Amino acid sequence: MIRPKLGMGDSDFDFYRCYKCKRLITRVEEIRAFSKQSKNPGAVCACGSPKYTPANMIWYEWFLPRVWRFAYLRIRGVV
């Protein structure tokens, strides 16, 4: 199971929002940004802002491919 390897606990949030550009960020994107393979370590959002907060999704964000991928991984029990 990947959840313990990624440092994901039950109290972690699934979705975040960038403080600067308001882009939706998934938990998997957050983990990837802080991994050793990251091109821009610490920059979770594509705009480069290091600040983000937990967030609820807006209705149209359910149709984003990264949200569908996250939901697929969550259903499979990977994350």
Residue 60, amino acid:
Y
CA–CA distances in Å: residue 29 to residues 15, 78, 79: 10, 14, 12
The stretch 50-77 carries a mean pLDDT of 92
* Least confident segment among 41-45, 46-50, 66-70: 41-45
pLDDT at residue 2, rounded to an integer: 47
Looking at per-residue pLDDT, the higher value among 55 and 40 belongs to 55
